[in-house]
Amino acid sequence: MRKVIFLGLDNAGKTSIITAITKRFGFEDEVKNLLPTKRIDRDMFRFLGLEFVRMDFGGQEQYRDQYLKNPGKYLGGSDLIFYVVDAQDPNRYIETIDYLDQVLLFFKEVKEDPPIAVLFHKFDPVILEDKDINQKALTLKQALTKYSNDFDIFFFETSIYDIKSVMDAFSSGLSLLFNKMELVSQLFEEISKNYNAMLMALFDVRGITIGEYYRGHLHIQEKMKIYDAYIDVQKKIIAQDRSFFEFSDKFDNGHRFSGVVEVLSFGNMDFYLLIIIDEDEKNLGKTVEILDKIEAAKPEMENLIYQIIQ
C-alpha cells in the first residue's frame, strides 16, 4: 500500500482538491460548504493496479503541533507528498514555509525522501494575470527551491475553477511512482506530430491522466473546453455502456474540433483514450480518415499500458 499525503496550513484548499479529484463533476457546491478538516481524513484508491491510501492532514495549528510532536507515526513511510499553499494569501507564506521546513527536517533526519509536489493553489483563471500575486508566488517558489538539494520537489499552479489543473498536478505527482509512465506521453507526441492532432490523452476510469500530449499553442480556455467535453462523453460512455464515442464541438472562437473516446480494457481495468483533431468542415471524410489512422496505433498503446500496470 502506497501512502500519499496532503499537507499545508488550514484553509489552503487541501480538502477541496481531494473532493474535486474524487468527484470531478458536481463538486462545486460541496467545496463551498466544506468544514475545516479535523485531524486526518483517509480514503483509498487504486491506480494502475496499485493500492493507495490518501491522507488529508487537517492544517490547524493544534493538529500541526500534534503531527510534528510524533512525526514518525503520522508522516513516516509516505511515498508522495502534496504540499498545498494558498497562493492568494501571501500574509501566510512565512508560516507555510515554516511548517514545510519542519516536515522536511523530519524526513531528512530519518533519511526518507518522498517526492514533493508543491501546489500553488487558488491560482484561479482570473488571477493568472495578476502581477502582484505572480511576483509574490515567484518569490515563494525561489525560497522553496532550497529543498531541491535533498528532495525531488516540483511546483504546480492549481485552482478548483480549472479542474484540469488539479487533475494534472495529481497525475504528475503519481507519475513519479511509475517509471515508464512518461513513455505514453512520448508516444502521443510522436503520433500527434505525424497527424497534426490537437490533443491525445489517456485517462484511467477516475480521470487521472496516464499520458497526454497537446499542441503547444493550445490556449488554457481551449484545454478546459476539451476537458469538459471529454468528461461529458465519459459520463455517456459509462451510462450507455459503450466502448467508443465520436463527438464534435466548437471553441468560443467558432473553430470546430472532432474527437473520439475509446475504452481500452485490461482485465478489470478500463482506460479511456481521447483523440482530438481539427475538424475539416468541408471534408468530414478526411477528418474521419485521420482519426482512423491515429487509432491504428492502438496496439502500440496497449502494449505500453501492459508494461506500466503493476
Which chain residues interact with ligand GDP by CB under 6 A? 8, 10-16, 31-32, 34, 36-37, 59, 84, 121-122, 124, 159-161
Is the CB of 30 or the CB of 289 nearer to ligand GDP? 30
Contacting residue, 4, 6, 15, 185, with Mg ion by CB under 5 A? 15
Identify which of residues 7 and 197 has a Cβ nearer to ligand GDP in the complex: 7
- Part in contact with Mg ion (CB under 5 A); list of ranges 19-27, 32-40, 199-207, 250-258: 32-40
Taking alpha carbons only, the member of 206, 207, 151, 213 closest to residue 176 is 151
User: Whose Cβ is closer to ligand GDP: residue 12's or residue 75's?
Assistant: 12
Minimum distance, C-beta of residue 41 to Mg ion, in the bound complex (Å): 7
> Roughly what angle, to the nearest 10 degrees, separates helices 182-195 and 284-295?
150
HSE-CB of 47 using CA atoms within 13 angstroms: 27
Biggest CA-to-CA distance, the chain = 68
Q: Cβ 147 to ligand GDP, closest distance in Å?
A: 21
User: Among residues 121, 116, 128, 204, which one has the least CA distance to residue 160?
Assistant: 121
Among 37, 165, 171, 234, binds Mg ion (CB under 5 A): 37
Q: How far is the CB of 283 from ligand GDP (least distance, A)?
A: 42
CB of 160 to ligand GDP, least distance (A): 4
- Rounded to a whole number of angstroms, the minimum distance from the CB of residue 156 to ligand GDP is 12
Q: Which is nearer to ligand GDP, 24 or 121 (CB)?
A: 121
Residue 121 touches which of ligand GDP, Mg ion, none (CB < 5 to 8 A by kind)?
ligand GDP
Q: Select 64 or 121, whichever has its Cβ closest to ligand GDP.
A: 121
CA gap 45, 49 in Å, rounded: 10
Residues that bind Mg ion in the complex, under the rule CB under 5 A = 14-15, 37
